[in-house]
Structure 1
Amino acid sequence: MPILQDLEYHIISDGISWTDGGGAFGLVPRVIWAKQLPPDDQNRIPLALTSLLIRSEGKTILVDTGYGRKLDDRAKQIAGLVRSEGDLLEGLARLDVLPEDIDIVINTHLHADHCGGNTIEQNGRLAPTFPNAQYYIQRLEWADAIAPNERTQATYLPENYAPLQESGHLKLINGNTQITRHVRTAVTRGHTRAHQVVIIEAGGKTLLFMADLATLHYQFQRLAWVTAYDVEPLETIESKRYWQQWVLAHDAVIIFQHDTQIPTGKLVPNGNRFKVEPVSIS
């Protein structure tokens, strides 16, 4: 139960997704990336599905919602979904947090592994999983999600977000947004056109919830390492260039949402490059 000043936060798992390594590393040859993160016999690597629970100024905030509970067996198999310790809702329950207790959900973007848990099936219909929450989504991200193109339509699934508008739970935000005194979002273009990270600043400490600005710590160490899923890879490189300097200037602890090797770490100089060193925040 880490506490910074009057703020409390918890990292919660929605499981592991065994995902094609080529997708995660893009143009980086397998012979190079496999030395860092050896794949299984199907060329898959494990990606953590991490959400962040924050309590700040009387608000209970959830950052991203994982895959959720709507996937059928085939979809779970395609996602390589393994939940040996339960899903997000079970993780919240272990903290005595009910879905009704969540005041704000922040979606870093609307890919299925980040927003699938936004909605849940109830009485044959889709409803917000967190009935008392406002869901904070970038307006441009919403626009791209409701009108996907041939490249993005497989990753934007309307059942994960369309019901939020119908039920009045949707809150569209424009650019960098202050959520509470200690919690804010910042747009980091590249993975999607309006992907956003979440920043916590309290008690003289700074945390950066990376989301898919860098899926793994390797991609934050090396600017050119970009996933195959990024819709604007050159923008990703420039975003990472900026945020490398930002985390150094703020001595920030980084939460790598998908990283099973270094889930939390700090960026440090390493010759003419950078490396991420693991840091515990428990």
Structure 2
Amino acid sequence: MEKLTIGDASLTWLAGGNNHLDGGAMFGVVPKPLWSRKYPVNDKNQIELRTDPILLQVDGKNLIIDSGMGNGKLTDKQKRNFGVTEESRIDESLRVAGLTRDDIHFVLMTHLHFDHACGLTEKKGEEYVSVFPKATIITSETEWEEMRNPNMRSKNTYWRENWEAIQSQVETFRDEKEVLPGLKMVHTSGHSNGHAVIRFERGEDIFIHMADLMPTHAHQNKLWALAFDDYPVTSVHEKDKWMDEGYQKGAWYTFYHDAYYRALKFDKEGEIVKEVKRERD
């Protein structure tokens, strides 16, 4: 498991599964000859996307950023359609880190699309139960509302089995929430109406988790928005704001979906100066 220390914060990437989605959809209106130079594509025009939660340890607290693909949640048809070739191994990853599910204090959900939220619950007998029963699960008020009342488009990604069992654990915020000193979740909209980024800053130590505003290193171009985005113009403006800030302050950028990099740091011109590569099997 890859690790990164940023000041007081320790980050460890857990094994949360994967999927393979159409490259054209992941890069929107960007022509394939451009995006395929930056991110490998298979003969089905699919790119590999990890769904690996980040274990964040700071101030004696254990937090997880997003929850992975989960286990046993998808039918064979869904696995085929979403290109899922690997499900979560969260228990194994936590065991290596010397933890169990009960040791998680907070789960920070950037948004609640199935590829981020399936790992929140699991089936026991005929019922779904919480995977992290002692954790406070934090997401934006807007996202939580749409999760429970999806529209005709979003119902394909906001699933009842991912939220009913965790209702009593959920804490929402409107604009931003400081989870711990220097650690904030900020509502951005863009990819989904309730999408949020996560920002950690203590002194000169900074990381920004852009979630699906910049799901992979190949999405660094501020104008490259996903066809999946509900509000792509908002995504572009939010990327511009958060990347300009991070470039100027020397922030690390962390990834949930990238199959090749876990984290990158850029200089003021946007050139990579430090990297944490994913150790591929």
Both proteins in one fold, TM over 0.5: yes
Letter in 1 for 2:206: T
* Worse-matched range after superposition: 235-244 or 56-65: 56-65
Distance in 1, matches of 2:92 and 2:130, equals 17
Residues 217, 276 of structure 1: 8 Å contact kept: no
Distance in 1, matches of 2:109 and 2:85, equals 22
| Helix, strand or coil at the partner of 2:11 | strand
Q: Which residue of structure 1 lines up, in the alignment, with residue 90 of structure 2?
A: 88
Q: CA RMSD in A?
A: 2.1
Letter in 1 for 2:183: V
| Helix, strand or coil at the partner of 1:215 | coil
Distance in 2, matches of 1:228 and 1:33, equals 14
Residues 56, 182 of structure 1: 8 Å contact kept: no
Distance in 2, matches of 1:243 and 1:276, equals 16
Note the residue ranges of structure 2 that are not aligned, 5 or more in a row.
Answer: none
Q: Which residue of structure 2 lines up, in the alignment, with residue 280 of structure 1?
A: 276
Residues 4, 203 of structure 1: 8 Å contact kept: no
What are the equivalent positions in structure 2 for 1:7-26 lying under 5 Å apart?
Answer: 7-26=9-28
Determine whether 1:201 maps to 2:209: no
| Helix, strand or coil at the partner of 2:166 | helix
* Structure 1 residue 240 displacement after superposition: 0.7
Residues 266, 274 of structure 2: 8 Å contact kept: no
After superposition, give the CA deviation of every residue in 1:139-173 in whole Å (9 maximum; x if it has no partner). Answer: 111112222222212111121112211xx111122
Note the residue ranges of structure 1 that are not aligned, 5 or more in a row.
Answer: none
Distance 1:111 1:199, change over 3 A: same
Distance in 2, matches of 1:145 and 1:131, equals 20
Q: Which residue of structure 2 lines up, in the alignment, with residue 67 of structure 1?
A: 69
Distance in 2, matches of 1:224 and 1:99, equals 38
| Helix, strand or coil at the partner of 2:230 | coil
* Structure 1 residue 96 displacement after superposition: 2.1
Task: From 99, 104, 125, give the equivalent of 1:102.
Answer: 104
Q: Which residue of structure 1 lines up, in the alignment, with residue 235 of structure 2?
A: 236
Distance in 1, matches of 2:114 and 2:273, equals 29
Distance 1:236 1:5, change over 3 A: closer
Distance in 1, matches of 2:59 and 2:261, equals 30
Distance in 1, matches of 2:19 and 2:264, equals 21
Letter in 2 for 1:246: E
Number of aligned positions between the proteins: 275
* Structure 1 residue 185 displacement after superposition: 1.1
Q: Which residue of structure 2 lines up, in the alignment, with residue 160 of structure 1?
A: 162
Q: Which residue of structure 2 lines up, in the alignment, with residue 120 of structure 1?
A: 122
* Structure 1 residue 123 displacement after superposition: 2.7
Q: Percent identity over the alignment?
A: 27
Residues 63, 104 of structure 2: 8 Å contact kept: yes
Letter in 2 for 1:214: M
TM-score (norm. length: structure 1)? 0.89
| Helix, strand or coil at the partner of 1:231 | coil
Residues 64, 107 of structure 2: 8 Å contact kept: yes
Distance in 2, matches of 1:277 and 1:116, equals 34
After superposition, give the CA deviation of every residue in 1:18-67 in whole Å (9 maximum; x if it has no partner). Answer: 11111101111223222322321111111121211122223211110011
After superposition, give the CA deviation of every residue in 1:185-233 in whole Å (9 maximum; x if it has no partner). Answer: 122220011211112224631111221011222322x222110110000
